[in-house]
Amino acid sequence: GQNIDQPTEMTATEGAIVQINCTYQTSGFNGLFWYQQHAGEAPTFLSYNVLDGLEEKGRFSSFLSRSKGYSYLLLKELQMKDSASYLCAVRAINQAGTALIFGKGTTLSVSS
Partner 1 sequence: EPEVTQTPSHQVTQMGQEVILRCVPISNHLYFYWYRQILGQKVEFLVSFYNNEISEKSEIFDDQFSVERPDGSNFTLKIRSTKLEDSAMYFCASSERSSGNTIYFGEGSWLTVV
- Round to whole Å and give the CA distance between 65 and 11: 25
In the complex, least distance from residue 39 CB atom to partner 1, rounded to whole angstroms = 10
Stretch that binds partner 1, among 11-19, 28-36, 55-63, 69-77 (CB under 8 A): 28-36
- Round to whole Å and give the CA distance between 52 and 68: 10
In a 3-state reduction of DSSP, which class is residue 82? helix
What x/- string results for residues 44 through 83 when contact with partner 1 is judged by CB under 8 A?
Answer: xx--x-x---------------------------------
Q: Which residue in the set 10, 12, 74, 101 belongs to the binding site for partner 1 (CB under 8 A)?
A: 101
Element holding 111 (H helix, E strand):
strand 106-111
